[in-house]
Amino acid sequence: MKILRLAAMAVCAALAACSPAKKEAVEPPGRTALKLATDWKGEAELGGYYQALATGEYQKRGLDVTLIQGGPGVNVPQLLATGAVDVGVGSNSFIVLNLAKEKVPVKAVAAFMDKDPQVLIAHDGQGINAIADMKGHPILLSDASIAAFWVWLKAKHGFTDDQVRKYNYSAAPFLADKRVVQQGYVTSEPYLIEKEGKITPKVFLLADDGYPAYASFALVPDALIARNPAAVKAFVEATAAGWTSYLYGDAKPGDALILKDNPEMTQDVLDQAREKMRAYGIVPRQGVGRMDDARWAEFFKVASEQGVYPKDMDYKGAYTLDFLPK
């Protein structure tokens, strides 16, 4: 399940002792080689990166990008901190701020998902018409989620920890008890529940309830930003073009690469995920990759007030707006 991406946050504290591997100060002639580590196996939620690679968006900007497929055994923050890769996909805003908290020299240079795709899923007929109505209901959450968006839910809606039930990445407990609410991604779990349970669940996107997080960040070491800012800018522009093409153009090139990388993926899952990303505005048609100080300030305020981060932490050191596409 893609929520496992959040588990990377648990190891961020260990990364403070890591330092990026030394690289030559002068780039080799020709294209700039970049190793890109994704945060999960090939899927539509990574489609923009695959599309940019498949359609030559990276190449036309002088980049030679090698995509390293993620998964449960791939720790993107660690790969970045040790210099094993040049760019990494960061799943959510907590990962970005955790790196800053531990003073790992890595920054978010773009957020390709304007809305975090995190949802809560409920049964119909239970009197749940909004997220606020879930107060008092048992909610299936992973350990990583408890340390992440659950903090925001408690702050906004007064949810309590006695509502939490262990999420084991199976839809069976949700299907067995109509009072239960389950976490998920809008692009994944609702569709799987429909197929497995033959029901149409009620789906609530946290972002539409005011959750201010971004998602699908391009994370880049400070060393690369200092050494080759042009390559960073080119990567952001190419990936933004890839996302626009993947969601609002012909997705076949990206899908072909995804299916090659991840044989467990199927075309129907890719198709419905793209439709969900468009319908919910996860990746906007205009301004792909954008971030702003106000959204970061709002996110940090909630998280720091709940004790996740020190209130005097330099959260602005976690990101830069210098490379956003025009």
CATH of range 2-20+27-115+213-318; options 3.90.420.10, 3.40.190.10, 1.10.3470.10, 3.40.50.300 = 3.40.190.10
Mean local confidence (pLDDT), 89-113: 97
Q: For residue 161, give Cα distances in angstroms to 21, 82, 151, 154, 297.
A: 41, 36, 10, 8, 26
Model confidence pTM above 0.75: yes
H/E segment holding residue 50: helix 47-54
What is the structure's pLDDT at 5?
54
Beta bridge partners of 63: 32
303-309: long-range pairs with CB below 8 Å, 24+: 303/94, 303/97, 303/151, 303/152, 305/155, 306/151, 306/152, 306/154, 306/155, 308/94, 308/97, 308/147, 308/151, 309/97, 309/101
For the chain, percent of residues with pLDDT exceeding 70: 91
Encode pLDDT of 132-182 as tens digits.
Answer: 999 999 999 999 899 999 999 999 999 999 999 999 999 999 999 999 999
Which alpha helices (DSSP H) does 177-323 contain, by range? Answer: 189-197, 222-227, 229-248, 252-261, 267-279, 293-305
Decide if pLDDT at 13 tops 80: no
Q: What is the pLDDT of residues 67-84, one digit of tens each?
A: 999 998 899 999 999 999
| pLDDT digit string, tens, across residues 173-228 | 999 999 999 999 999 999 999 999 999 999 999 999 999 999 999 999 999 999 99
Do the Cβ atoms of 258 and 264 come closer than 8 Å? no
Report whether pLDDT(24) > 60. Answer: no
Tens digits of residue pLDDT in 317-326: 999 999 998 7
- Alpha carbon 166 to its chain's center: 22
Which segments of 9-115 are extended strands (E)?
32-37, 63-68, 87-92, 106-113
Q: State the pLDDT at residue 326.
A: 76
Give the pLDDT score at 325. 83
Domains of the chain, by residue range, sit at 2-20+27-115+213-318, 118-209
Average pLDDT of the chain, as a whole number: 92
CATH of 118-209, one of 3.40.50.10610, 1.25.40.10, 3.40.190.10, 3.90.180.10: 3.40.190.10
In this prediction, residue 73 carries a pLDDT of: 85
Domains 2-20+27-115+213-318 and 118-209 share a fold: yes
184 CA to centre of own chain:
13
pLDDT at res. 29: 55
Q: What are 80's two structure tokens?
A: 């970045």
User: What is the pLDDT, as a whole number, of residue 9?
Assistant: 46
The pLDDT tens digits for 29-61 are 579 999 999 999 999 999 999 999 999 999 999
